[in-house]
């Protein structure tokens, strides 16, 4: 007797509703993107049915011969993309990748350093409400107040004072290139492990537009769904596998090579079975990122971000650090609109179908729920085919809404214009 197929209209209607929301709006969330049909297809495939605890060739389940090939391919492709010798493609997310590195490299209570959350860092780099800040002793470094850029001198001073076991570079709302060479020098001075979380700019790094941290850091983590334009997930990389000079041990007390420590920290350390359907989608995305078209797309992402930042500054907006080197920017609303919070700005823009997120700015006097800033990014809008001309219009529309965030007529006018304009941009343009 065959099973009668039922359509869960409740869920599928919601999925279609979200599809329409994505189609109609201008997507400016810096950490989002639109995946290709093939990435999407790999995620919704039969591979979701398979258990595969362990690693290719060393699994705890039978029937893994095909997923072994898939996972090995993902590893091979991502190593080629970033010039890495080692990759783990199993982390379910960026935060999981970071948690695994912490588990491999630190003991509870150990000191490490990361960029403060309100200066652009990520929750998983030492926030008091994340395992990184709960289990380990986090020391935050900051941006320089005048330049809006990472204060490497302060970082060095803090490192010499606190002797951290690990120093983390990378963040979630930092629009400038990192000085990885300087960070490695600081880490070496105090004998610390140097880790970079390149989640945000990974796609621009893959395209060769920004410095590659794999050349400088002991360990690099990333998400795969931001500028890298793959499925939601995480990865861990090393330029070269090495015997660990810090004498780090497995839970059984054995000193092992870094690759073995990292692999066992992911599984069985913090995860069970890998998501092989997502790993297949990662492999598809890595191959897309290896193509010449991806480089052109990434160049346009960077160009669009620069134009958007310049156009906003022309209109009197304050961009932290005075511009951007990557795909993102942090808008400090305080000088142009002293009474406007990031929360109200986000709500007004979202009502006009321009999606952004509120964000704390360095030295913010408002809380993380209110904030004095918004974060903008160009990966998603560029995937839809946006060029510089659309960025000029986006800046104009943002100003129009934020000049009158409570005015429903203005918001309705802008929303209509946004919907009309976006009808000309397909959801996946290339």
Scanning 92-100, 150-158, 290-298, 388-396 for contacts with ligand PLP by CB under 6 A, the matching segment is 92-100
Our answer to whether residue 153 is catalytic in this structure is no
Measured from the CB atom, is 171 or 274 closer to ligand PLP? 171
Q: Is 126 in the site for ligand PLP (CB under 6 A)?
A: no
Q: Is 199 in the site for ligand PLP (CB under 6 A)?
A: yes
CA 263 vs CA 58, 252, 266: distances in Å:
12, 14, 5
368 known ligand binder = yes
209 known ligand binder = no
Our answer to whether residue 226 is catalytic in this structure is yes
Structure token pair of residue 356: 């952004």
- At its nearest, how many Å lie between ligand PLP and the CB of residue 127? 11
Q: Looking at 50, 232, 295, 347, which residue is catalytic? A: 232
Measured from the CB atom, is 172 or 304 closer to ligand PLP? 172
Q: Pick from 25, 94, 120, 274 the residue near ligand PLP by CB under 6 A.
A: 94
Query: Are 195 and 219 in contact, with CB atoms under 8 Å apart?
Result: yes
123 known ligand binder = yes
Scanning 78-86, 89-97, 277-285, 349-357 for contacts with ligand PLP by CB under 6 A, the matching segment is 89-97
CA 184 vs CA 84, 113, 161, 180, 275: distances in Å:
17, 13, 17, 6, 33
Is the peptide bond preceding residue 90 cis, with omega within 30 degrees of 0?
no
Our answer to whether residue 197 is catalytic in this structure is yes
Our answer to whether residue 232 is catalytic in this structure is yes
CA 262 vs CA 10, 251, 288, 347, 404: distances in Å:
41, 12, 27, 41, 51
Q: How far is 47 from 52, CA to CA, in rounded Å?
A: 10
Query: Are 117 and 127 in contact, with CB atoms under 8 Å apart?
Result: yes
Q: Looking at 59, 180, 223, 375, which residue is catalytic? A: 223
117 known ligand binder = yes
Q: Is 124 in the site for ligand PLP (CB under 6 A)?
A: yes
Q: Looking at 24, 51, 299, 318, which residue is catalytic? A: 51
Q: What are phi and psi of 368, to 5 degrees?
A: -65, -20
Our answer to whether residue 111 is catalytic in this structure is no
Helix axes of 180-190 and 152-162: crossing angle, nearest 10 degrees: 20
Q: Is 130 in the site for ligand PLP (CB under 6 A)?
A: no
Q: Looking at 32, 38, 50, 53, which residue is catalytic? A: 53
Q: How far is 405 from 349, CA to CA, in rounded Å?
A: 8
Q: Could you give the string, one character per residue 388-417, with x where binding to ligand PLP holds by CB under 6 A and - elsewhere?
A: ------------------------------
- At its nearest, how many Å lie between ligand PLP and the CB of residue 232? 6
Q: How far is 227 from 2, CA to CA, in rounded Å?
A: 44
Task: Please name which of 124, 186, 194 lies closest in space to residue 161, comparing C-alpha atoms.
Answer: 186
Q: Looking at 118, 197, 276, 332, which residue is catalytic? A: 197
369 known ligand binder = yes
122 known ligand binder = yes
Our answer to whether residue 176 is catalytic in this structure is no
Residue of minimal Cβ distance to ligand PLP: 94
Collect all residues with Cβ–Cβ distance below 8 Å to 343 and sequence separation of at least 6.
Answer: 358, 369, 370, 371
Measured from the CB atom, is 122 or 176 closer to ligand PLP? 122
The site for ligand PLP, by CB under 6 A, has a size of 14
Q: Pick from 132, 175, 223, 304 the residue near ligand PLP by CB under 6 A.
A: 223
3-class SS string, 114-180 = EECHHHCCCHHHCCCCCHHHHHCEEEEECECCCCCCECHHHHHHHHHHHCCCEEEECCCCCCCCCCH
Q: Pick from 77, 119, 122, 327 the residue near ligand PLP by CB under 6 A.
A: 122
- According to CB under 6 A, which residues from 25 to 44 bind ligand PLP? 31
203 known ligand binder = no
Scanning 87-95, 246-254, 258-266, 281-289 for contacts with ligand PLP by CB under 6 A, the matching segment is 87-95
Scanning 164-172, 177-185, 271-279, 337-345 for contacts with ligand PLP by CB under 6 A, the matching segment is 164-172
Q: Pick from 197, 288, 311, 332 the residue near ligand PLP by CB under 6 A.
A: 197
- At its nearest, how many Å lie between ligand PLP and the CB of residue 265? 16
Annotated binding site for (6S)-5,6,7,8-tetrahydrofolate: 117, 121-123, 367-369
* Interface positions with ligand PLP (CB under 6 A): 31, 93-95, 122, 124, 170-172, 197, 199-200, 223, 234
Q: Which residues are part of the catalytic machinery?
A: 51, 53, 197, 223, 226, 232
């Amino acid at each position: 007797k065959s099973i009668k197929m039922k359509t869960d209209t409740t869920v599928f209607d919601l999925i279609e509703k979200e599809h329409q929301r994505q189609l109609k709006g201008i997507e400016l969330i810096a950490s989002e993107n639109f995946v290709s049909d093939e990435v999407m297809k790999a995620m919704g495939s039969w591979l979701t049915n398979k258990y595969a605890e362990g690693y290719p060739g060393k699994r705890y389940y039978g029937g893994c011969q095909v997923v072994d090939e898939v996972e090995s391919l993902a590893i091979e492709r991502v190593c080629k993309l970033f010039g890495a010798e080692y990759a783990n493609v199993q982390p379910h997310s960026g935060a999981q990748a970071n948690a695994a590195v912490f588990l491999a490299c630190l003991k509870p209570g150990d000191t490490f350093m990361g960029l403060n959350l309100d200066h652009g860092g990520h929750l998983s780099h030492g926030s008091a409400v994340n395992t990184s800040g709960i289990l380990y002793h986090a020391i935050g470094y900051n941006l320089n107040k005048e330049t809006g850029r990472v204060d490497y001198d302060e970082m060095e001073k803090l490192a010499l004072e606190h002797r951290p076991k690990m120093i983390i570079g990378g963040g979630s709302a930092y629009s400038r290139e990192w000085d990885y060479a300087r960070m490695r020098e600081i880490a070496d001075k105090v004998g610390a492990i140097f880790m970079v979380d390149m989640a945000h700019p990974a796609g621009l790094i893959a395209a060769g537009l920004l410095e590659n941290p794999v050349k400088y850091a002991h360990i690099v983590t990333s998400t795969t769904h931001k500028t890298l334009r793959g499925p939601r997930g995480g990865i861990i990389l090393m330029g070269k596998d090495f015997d660990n000079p810090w004498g780090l041990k497995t839970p059984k007390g054995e000193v092992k090579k870094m690759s073995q420590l990292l692999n066992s920290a992911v599984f069985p350390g913090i995860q069970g079975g890998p998501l092989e359907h997502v790993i297949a989608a990662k492999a598809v995305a890595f191959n897309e990122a290896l193509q010449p078209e991806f480089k052109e797309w990434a160049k346009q992402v960077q160009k669009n971000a620069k134009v958007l930042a310049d156009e906003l500054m022309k209109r009197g907006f304050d961009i932290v650090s005075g511009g951007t080197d990557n795909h993102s920017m942090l808008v400090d609303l305080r000088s142009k609109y002293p009474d406007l919070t990031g929360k109200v700005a986000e709500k007004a823009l979202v009502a006009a179908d321009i999606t952004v997120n509120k964000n704390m700015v360095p030295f913010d006097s408002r809380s993380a729920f209110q904030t004095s800033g918004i974060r903008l990014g160009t990966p998603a809008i560029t995937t839809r085919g946006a060029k510089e001309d659309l960025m000029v219009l986006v800046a104009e529309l943002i100003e129009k809404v934020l000049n009158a965030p409570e005015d429903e007529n203005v918001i309705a006018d802008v929303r209509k214009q946004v919907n009309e304009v976006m009808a000309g941009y397909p959801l996946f343009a290339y």
